[in-house]
Chain A
Amino acid sequence: MSASHPGADVLLQCTDVVKHFPVTSGSLGGGHATVHAVDGVSLQVQQGETLGLVGETGCGKSTLARCIARLYDLTAGTVEFDGRDLTGLSRRQLRPIRRQIQVIFQDPYGSLNPRRRVGSIIGDPFAIHGIDSRAQRKRRVQELMERVGLNPEHYNRFPSEFSGGQRQRIGTARALALRPKMIICDEPVSALDVSIQAQILNLLADLQAELGLTYIFISHDLSVVRHVSNRIAVMYLGKIVETAPTADLFERTRHPYTRALLSALPAPDPDAADSRERIVLAGDPPSPTNPPAGCRFHPRCPKARNDCIANDPDLVPRLGDHASHRTACLHPLQIGEDMSIAIPQIGDSEIAADTIATSEGAS
């Protein structure tokens, strides 16, 4: 795809995007805290490619997506789309841009109004943006329904009459209505059974090929992301820890967190399951209200050293990697390095297994 050749058009450019949420913490109504949901993310998406965004619950991947679609205002940083800075635009100025960036949400039940007919749900974008007359709209909606594999005769049905997979097709039709350039797919298949999941993934691939769409594909499921993405960015606690072309990320994994994530993914293959390296990380991801100093992964990292506590590593090519493969780690993995034997060389009090109890107990 176009992503593979350099000089392809940059469609989206995020620079140092920060999104903090203020929260009131404590049952006594005392202090204020800040959730560092996205904490300085820079990334580029090229025209026509699929960028996979992976990470665990609370890593900030959905918040980042919402910042890009400007569903949230940024705390700091800039988002440029198609050469235009969206950061300071008013709601009104954003309107034409919203036609270009659409979102497909995870929950096919929560994202469709149960009291409205499917035809009007899919036709909403036309109505909101004042496109076409009523009669023309109906025809356009039925074309869209056909394109995503729904029966156009079901125009007057309600969402409850559709299965989960069909509802996700409805959400897709709605996202396609205004012929966007980019679609942000936020866990679009996570709520679906595998046999249905494959139908939707194929549909998204077909639409991309036909319409030249650019996708940001968010998921916690690495096998899905691997399948759909040209490039992948791995997020941990509000930051990108590693980004690379898909094959590179899997074959030349540099960041210990990426490696742990890959090794934790259960392979649907008994031989692979029996023979593969298993890295079981200590503890849980820390709270984004109070991220660890230095490298945010250091309390759980088997390769942590003292300099990881003091320094927050930059996202740059490491160990002679190509410019497209960047890793935020001071002690990146060599190819073929066995991480399962690594032992953290930092003070015990810095290791997650012991700190969780106190940090959580106190929160």
Chain B
Amino acid sequence: MALLEVRDLHVTFDTADGAVQAVRGLSFDVEAGKTLAIVGESGSGKSVSTQTITGLTRGARISGEAVFDGLDLLSASAHELRRVRGAKIGMIFQDPLSSLHPYYRVGWQIVEMIRAHDRSVSRNQARARAVELLRLVGIPGADRRIDDYPHQFSGGMRQRVMIAMAMALDPMLLIADEPTTALDVTVQAQVLAVMRNLQEEFGTAIILITHDLGVVAEMCDEVVVMYAGGVMERAGRREIFYRHHHPYTEGLLASLPAQGAPGERLTPIAGTPPSLISLPPGCPFAPRCAYAFDKCWAHRPPLDPVFGDPAHTSACWLSGDEQVRARQRDALERAREESA
């Protein structure tokens, strides 16, 4: 059994403009000790889904299941959830400065966090553990810096403090929501190295939420590609990059500047993502999809296995058979050229 099993998660926010369907039927598993990337553009629902799992989306209408280590987090009581969150599931966010309290020394914050979950640990023990953690994430002079305030750390160092705090209680799962997006590339490389080393040492599973396909290629075992609140494609890392099925995945990869030769025209995805208030009935990607045909507009495709690989699923009406698919694609392209 997987460490975390999310089934048919729906999250809706009621707003003055209408119901925003942020997550629409999301299912995925995270295996112990593995890294799952959730990739998607702004508004795809990637952050909302993990925030919902950890009970951080107040006021949303939620349905579905998220079973973590035998406990359904979505129906768990606040008390049960508090014991899991922080202790068994650690979390780090994009902006470490707003996740750390500016008035308290970082050491005090880590000690508090440890003692909030286990009062039997003495202050001194917790402090020793905090120094050990800061050393583990590569903060030089950890025994001195433990008494510094968050503003005395640089962005990269603060993110290390956040990782130290998230790892304090030896969680089984670490949820990292865009952990390096605010950092420069050389600092990003440092922080990713810290995460990789911790995973190797402690076998922590990681959910890495990111929009950066480069980070995905570096860090992940499996990838979930989200669009308009749903999974478009899910596969192993190599399959996503080298043998993807969904036209959205294809479009994302094709639009990267790294793919083309310098100076060549890029291949963007036409149009913009749909509003989550009034989604069309069919595939949410159909309006931007080069391969869309009648069925795509009428019915939303299920997430089914493709290429005969049960671990590789795609929510697309195009055939999983590559030859059939190539024929479909050619026919559609011809039809479009004729009509143009």
Contacts and interface: CB of A to CB of B under 8 A. Distances in A.
Contacts of B188: 264, 266
A196 B190 contact: no
B252 A194 contact: yes
Contact of A196 (B184, B260, B262, B272): B272
Contacts of A199: 268, 270
Please indicate which of the listed interface residues A166, A202, A263, A284 has the most CB atoms of chain B within 10 Å of its own CB. Answer: A284
Nearest to B260: A227
B257 A226 contact: yes
A273 B217 contact: yes
A278 interface: yes
Contacts of B262: 226-229, 246-247
Contacts of A247: 262
A57 B187 CA distance: 11
B321 interface: no
A309 interface: no
A281 B268 contact: no
Contacts of B212: 266
Contacts of A358: 141
Contact of A267 (B186, B214, B268): B214
B277 to A, nearest CB: 14
B268 A220 contact: no
A197 B255 contact: yes
Interface string B119-148: 000000000000000000000110011001
B266 A201 contact: yes
Interface string A159-179: 000011110000000000000
Contacts, number: 151
Contacts of A270: 217, 237-238, 241-242
B36 to A, nearest CB: 15
Contacts of A357: 140-141, 144-145
Interface of A: 56-57, 163-166, 193-199, 201-202, 205, 220, 222-224, 226-229, 246-247, 260-261, 263-270, 272-273, 278-281, 283-285, 353-354, 356-358, 360-361, 363
Interface of B: 41-42, 140-141, 144-145, 148, 152-157, 184-190, 192-193, 211-218, 237-238, 241-242, 251-253, 255-260, 262-270, 272
26 contacts: A56-B184, A56-B185, A56-B187, A57-B184, A164-B42, A165-B272, A194-B256, A196-B268, A198-B267, A202-B266, A222-B185, A223-B257, A227-B260, A227-B263, A260-B186, A261-B186, A266-B188, A266-B212, A267-B214, A270-B217, A270-B238, A278-B189, A281-B186, A284-B154, A354-B141, A357-B141
Given A353-B140, A360-B153, 16 more contacts: A195-B269, A201-B257, A227-B260, A227-B263, A227-B266, A260-B186, A264-B186, A266-B214, A268-B217, A268-B241, A268-B259, A270-B241, A281-B186, A284-B154, A284-B187, A354-B141
